[in-house]
């Protein structure tokens, strides 16, 4: 796995066994899309007890995104082309001005495809910054206008 | 009732002086506290404790990957607690007097006196790990036992289930440390460190009932009516609440297992 991906995982608290799991999934997708994965994202949120709950692991190539659902406990993988495929997006955010994020920042991004399918990516704390970057790089430019 | 049998701490201190020529005064307290601090310092820097605290996150992750639930209520290691001198005295009072079925002779496993009380008292330094679910107790215990083994320490595990509704697992770790002596020299002793593992619900009830248990431990004369029949008493509510919570925790595990399709 690329060192910047490892840095990202460490930054959002995915270490040790959790990181091993993420690396295993990266290897799986890497075999299917060799040398083309350019970004990583983990959807997560803070639950009512203040615990960080990690949900889905995402990878992005220049044409395709891949999602491992409930990646820590499930083996449920999919992938889809995204170029000019998005029909709609919604962002909900709290304590986040789309600049640098802080510990109390929260963000939720929902996207819908022309096919009717959709996806939801959540972020807390520093991860809001990374979700913003994903939005600007992969979602916003690929609205099917 | 034996009129020579001490029935409170003051009488117990007098008994120690008359029977064993032991003065319990401020110097005793100061000495106890300096020894207790030394035991905690040694244990805190021990390879065992360093390893365990460093591995807690990994242990929690392993449990999560197996169960989809978090193991701990808190991410950080629990604090090592020193037994206060008054509790320490109370414990020796209970051992030597209240629970001594051989009174006025020595208890089956001998008196606890200054020459051995740092060795025979098993929780001068203790801590408590709080896990969210009942199965987390045995999961964590197995990890603690492995780390003990890796570090050449012996430990005993006791799943406590008291009539009074107290449920927790206790790991007693035999730990060698060097303590100060009263003559400013030092000596090596094998003391016991107690690691308790309990659940979040039991921890809540423990904190609520702490004062009640403290009072009941000081009591020497048994109540005339058994607490199980005295529905107006504090013991009735407190003790049965402990049992009910334990039952509820078992049911929570059952529901969790059923959701995961583990039931045959």
pLDDT in tens, chain B (264 residues): 566 789 899 999 999 999 999 999 899 999 999 999 999 999 999 999 999 999 999 999 999 999 999 999 887 899 999 999 999 999 999 999 999 999 899 999 999 988 888 999 989 999 999 999 999 999 999 999 999 999 999 999 999 998 888 899 999 999 999 988 877 788 899 999 999 999 998 888 877 776 666 666 666 555 577 888 888 887 888 889 889 999 999 999 999 989 887 644
Kindly report the pTM of this predicted structure: 0.86
Question: With a CB-CB cutoff of 8 Å, which residues 177-216 of chain B face chain A?
Answer: none
* pLDDT on residue B264: 47
Query: In this predicted model, what pLDDT tens digit does every residue of A72-123 receive, in sequence order?
Result: 999 999 999 999 999 999 999 999 999 888 999 999 999 998 888 899 999 9
Contacts of A57 (CB under 8 A, 6+ apart): A22, A25, A40, A41, A42, A43, A67, A68, A71
Instruction: Choose from B59, B60, B65, B143 for mutation: most chain A CBs within 10 A.
Output: B65
- B57, B58, B65 ranked by CB distance to A72: nearest: B65
* pLDDT on residue A34: 93
Query: In this predicted model, what pLDDT tens digit does every residue of A26-43 receive, in sequence order?
Result: 999 999 999 899 999 999
Contacts of B261 (CB under 8 A, 6+ apart): none
Is A46 touching B (CB cutoff 8 A)? no
CB spacing of B58 vs A17 below 8 angstroms:
yes
CB spacing of A16 vs B68 below 8 angstroms:
no
């Amino acid at each position: 796995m690329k060192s910047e991906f490892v840095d990202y995982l460490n930054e959002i608290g995915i270490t040790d066994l959790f990181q091993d799991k993420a690396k295993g999934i990266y290897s799986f997708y890497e075999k299917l899309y060799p040398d083309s994965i350019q970004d990583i994202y983990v959807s997560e949120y803070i639950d009512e007890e203040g615990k960080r709950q990690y949900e889905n692991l995402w990878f992005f190539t220049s044409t395709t995104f891949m999602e491992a659902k409930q990646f820590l406990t499930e083996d449920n993988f999919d992938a889809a082309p995204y170029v000019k495929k998005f029909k709609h997006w919604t962002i909900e955010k709290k304590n986040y001005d789309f600049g640098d994020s802080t510990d109390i920042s929260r963000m939720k991004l929902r996207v819908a495809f022309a096919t009717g399918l959709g996806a939801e990516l959540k972020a807390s704390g520093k991860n809001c910054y990374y979700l913003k970057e994903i939005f600007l790089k992969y979602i916003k430019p690929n609205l099917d206008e | 009732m034996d009129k020579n049998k001490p029935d409170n701490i003051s009488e117990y201190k007098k008994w120690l002086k008359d029977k064993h020529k032991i003065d319990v005064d401020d110097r005793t307290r100061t000495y106890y506290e300096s020894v207790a601090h030394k035991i905690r310092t040694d244990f805190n820097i021990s390879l065992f404790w360093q390893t365990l605290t460093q591995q807690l996150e990994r242990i929690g992750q392993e449990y999560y990957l197996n169960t989809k639930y978090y193991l701990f209520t808190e991410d950080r290691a629990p604090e090592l607690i020193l037994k206060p001198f008054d509790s320490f005295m109370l414990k020796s009072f209970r051992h030597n007097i209240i629970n001594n079925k051989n009174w006025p002779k020595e208890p089956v496993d001998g008196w606890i006196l200054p020459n051995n009380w740092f060795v025979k008292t098993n929780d001068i330094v203790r801590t408590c790990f709080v896990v969210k679910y009942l199965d987390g107790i045995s999961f964590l215990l197995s990890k603690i036992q492995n780390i003990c083994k890796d570090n050449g320490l012996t430990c005993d595990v006791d799943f406590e289930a008291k009539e009074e509704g107290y449920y927790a697992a206790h790991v007693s770790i035999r730990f060698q440390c060097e303590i100060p002596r009263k003559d400013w020299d030092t000596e090596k002793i094998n003391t016991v460190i107690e690691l308790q593992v309990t659940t979040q619900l039991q921890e809540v009830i423990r904190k609520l009932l702490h004062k009640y248990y403290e009072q009941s431990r000081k009591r020497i004369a048994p109540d005339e009516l058994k607490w199980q029949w005295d529905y107006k008493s504090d013991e009735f509510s407190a003790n049965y609440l402990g049992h009910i919570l334990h039952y509820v925790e078992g049911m929570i595990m059952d529901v969790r297992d059923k959701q995961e399709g583990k039931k045959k």
